[in-house]
Structure 1
Amino acid sequence: MIYLLFLIWITVSLSFAEQFYDPSDCSSDTSHPGSRYTCDSVRQSCRTYLVYRANQHFGLQKLVNISALFRINPDELLHLNNIASPSETLKPGREVLLPITCLCSGQYFQAGLNYTVPERTSISEIACGVFEGLSKSLTLLRENPSQGNDVELGGKLLVPLRCSCPDNFTGVNQVKYLVTYPLLEGDGIIPLSMKFSISVHDLLAANHLEPKSTVFPNTTVLVPLKSDPSINFNIPDSPPPTPGFLPTATVEKTKNTKLKNLYIAGSIVGFLLVTVALLACGLYVKALKKWKGERLQSFTDRNSVLSGSTARSSPLSGQTGRSSTNSCLSPDLLAGIKFSLYNYGIDDIKRVTNDFNEDTNKIGEQVYKGLIDNESVMIKQMKFEDIRRVIDMHSKINHVNIVNLHGVCYGENDFTWSYLVFEFPANGCLRDCLSDQAHRLDWSRRTQIAFDVATVLHYLHYCIFPSYAHMSVNSRNIYVTSKWRAKLANIGSTLAVTSSTRNENADTVDGLVIPEYPMTRPASLKVDIFAFGVVLLELISGNDATKGTLLKDSIGFLGGGENEGGCFEQLRSFIDPCLKDEYLLAEALCLAVLAKACIEDDPLRRPSMDDILKVLGRMV
């Protein structure tokens, strides 16, 4: 009889859930014990708590917004969290206790929450950013099988928040609540036990952790409480670690004389290295000037041969500051740009953009303007992985007609927005200059801008390895300086490709369908040629290609067919009327014919940037 009772006790004990700690990151795509807390057939639900931190990145710094996210009455949270008003702005990272009902669903505990996505984002950003790891991205995907990794605006998700109910077999006696607590960098078992006034032993036992176990940021632990929860915010900043336990980050700080001397020695050595590097740079620039002269003559001779004229110099030579050889200056001197970028804080970015004011500072999709040290800048909001690609690209290039990259502002982690800070040329984008009725561009400035854009595209196509196709050349990605010179922006948004590489995404340029797209996908470098032709048509006509104007059809009179009014008359009607007669008709015809060649249906019939430069070099 006693043996039978013992077997029953063992069976019942094993039926209760054992909650393990999952050391994997919130965004991990692998399931581990503890990724979801298991439930048993006895305890089906309970009233428990979650800890959430005021989050400035998602507008969740006020209690009223946090309560709305979790569908909780804000008045219920005031006394529990010792907060005076639901509209009070909380300090970023301020911890808030949230009462929830934890239910056993299938084999796992969870607090199900319906969430409507306010803007296009990723599953990882929702799980690890908005909900701070209270639900893993893998769990979120499994609960919403119809959704992919990217969720569109207005998408509806079921968010299974991690929670658990005590079963009194967790190794901790008389547990009333198991509070789900998300860990940050610097959190450890000791400060956590002090924060909730519980023993380290109970905290380890509730999560099946050994005394020498390590806990990691972006994970969760269960805090076992024997009474109603309260958080002690007045714990010491650096509690001494217990022997054998490894927190997520070292909290002990010592003032070591040897370490201080090491810092001083390192600073001296660093200063000497910088001095040597500057001297080397000076010698390099001196040698580079000599090389440029030799390179210019070589390139001029090559152009003469390619143009079929050996007795006459290339039209590109003799143009001060306009030779296509400028496009080939890519010294490795700038390879360290990504290590010398200014690192801005998010507060700096918010200040110069008036907290991302869309009415006064937004100038494009996820692009804002601002003023830093009396210099106009563009601030582009990007994903972390895209930031790295753009910086890597800018570390390989050096061209006067490319918008300069000044600095970077990294997000707190891979799932928050990061920002790049670029120069903002004084006259804004080319499209705005062409649309300005009061200060329209004259003809000479338009031909100079065309030459500048061709020069930088020639540089990207021929003077870096591997060849780089911009894939987004248009009048909104071309900026105009105070001296009316063009600079190309949005460098690095596509991968470097060779001339035979196919791009799977580009199918239109400013509203014009790339002819080869439906059959073969476009050859990447030829897509830039097509796009450049569209820019030429905008420069000639002043029309905006994105507004449905069929610019390609507008130059049909160049095909040699019978058209009413004659070729020159139709050309005059196509040219921007604000230019009046202040242009050379022969140059306008030359540009129009060049543009028509660039947007040929057959990509093999389009000219190369080398050929384009030879034509434009005769005009500027």
Structure 2
Amino acid sequence: MALLSIFSLISTFVFFALASSPLVVLAQQPYVGLTTTACTSTDNSSSQFGYTCNGLNRSCQSYLIFRSRSPYNTVSSVSALLASSPSQVSLINSVAGSASFSTDHLVIVPITCSCSGQYYQENASYVVQSGDNYLSIANNTYQALSTCQALQNVNNISASDLSVGAKITVPVRCACPTKNQSDAGINYLLTYATVAGDDISDITARFGADATATLKANNLSVGETIYAFTTLLIPMENPPTSSQTTSPSPPLPSPPSIITTPPGKSSKTWVYVTIGVLGGIAVIAVLGTVVFFKFFRGRTRREKIDSTMVLDSFEAFENPSNKKLDEDSLDFLDSISSVAQSIKVYTYKELQAATENFSSSCLIKGSVYRGKINGDYAAIKKMNGDVSREVDILNKINHSNLIRLSGICFDEGHWYFVYEYAVNGPLSEWIYQNNSEGRFLTWMQRMQIALDVATGLDYLHHFTTPPHVHKNIKSSNILLDGDFRAKIASLGLARSTEGEDGGFALTRHIVGTKGYMAPEYLENGLISVNLDVYAFGVLLLEMMTGKEVISLCGGENMQAYDVVSLVLTEDGGHERLMQLIDPSMREMYPLDLAIYVIRIIESCLKKNPSDRPAMDEIVQSLSKVFTASLAWEH
């Protein structure tokens, strides 16, 4: 009896201790974090094997968010991949059963989540394809809705024995509400796979969820880093709806691993007001049409511009013509502010006040001024002439790594574009060893910036409609915000590849910056997305060496690909290329990763454009580098 009494007291103590524990009462599951790539780990303290079966029910209705991407971009293919009912998928997404989804559309997938042993999961089936491994299946195909650890745990096939054609079980991550969550009115847990730039407040706002409850559900603290390509449980009172998934979402690269924000920083990244809201898109499209037909139609083609011309950040073509808009057009501009919520029409007086009458003290560079509008800084660019190209491309883009247009003004024959302000200025002021301010970027900052630029270019090449070539990538056209995240600027030279044979076109109008222009463009006027890949390779070479491309090339006629090819022709070439890097910088670089980046540069600077990698491949490679760099840093 004494033993029973002691046991009873201990049980009561344990019960109340657990009941008062934040982990059980307040937190549904531990956040998986960076553990998803440690495929040989057997520790489940961060839920890499699955969410613990500790809910009120052992089975429940649950929901997943899956970003459509070929070949999983139809109702039937998404349903089959995730073992869901096609009729339920079509119904909850408000589409027909035969519908296809646009790339990166957030698809709601209803599933039944059940306890399997000690973990919640929903079992899907997958046939292994060529090139697959457990990590790529989890991170690429299933977009982090499973993990390599969970795959190895449920299948009787070792990672080394995984063969093409093998049918495996994929434990999809899901969970059921705890009693405390249920008592608080939480009826469903949505499994959301994160992408770069996500944070708790934006995710919960999208789905109408409570941010505090979401932090508790994932055992997270305020300000804790949220990594891309991990999952979060979103507590919801009601099922998600198609209206919550129609607003723009960051494009999902095809990562072999995860893209993350460096530790030690707040997980809060710059998230910008969407340019592409329906009203704004319509208005800017009309504006572009009006500008083009009223003021630029019939204008003669410009004379060929010298191929050594260097364009400053934000600078577009200049035309000495000083034509004024007629009164109807001015009235039209005034009317925009009542329709577009993200594009404001400013008066010239407002911009004068913002820039102290365009004082030299507010001049950033060229014709770009820093202004203060409603307490916030903005970059105000003064332009003459044809702005239709820049208006057209800014109408199509919506990406955190591309500079955002927030307002416009027209006065006395001049256009003024108001952009978001990048407080740390152009990359060119940070990467060169001889910069006058003694500014310096760490290895992690350089890799994050490189990944940002690659992701922005990948968006231009593959996610705009039609695809676009930037044509003027260089260090002065990459702007850095307060977190040293990169924004691609100067879209005045960008052009569409629509209707071009194989994505290639020819021009005699050679414009760009010496050292960054690809040989096929200089020699034959050949234009394709490969121009940006080449220029990105040059940019990455400058970032690695701390030297400007002109000084690296030396001779007037030598190009960046010549420098790389000369060094790499001999054995140990990659190590020799490392010698171009300033010794003080070499000491801060992880040697193996630096050589890996040098190889990326080499591939970008191939003389034959068809031999260069696509930007999505570069994003994958830099994602690997960034993830490995996190481990190296710690």
Tell me the TM-score range normalised by the shorter chain. 0.3 to 0.5
Report the TM-score when normalising by structure 1.
Answer: 0.46
Report the TM-score when normalising by structure 2.
Answer: 0.45
Q: Which has the larger radius of gyration?
A: 1
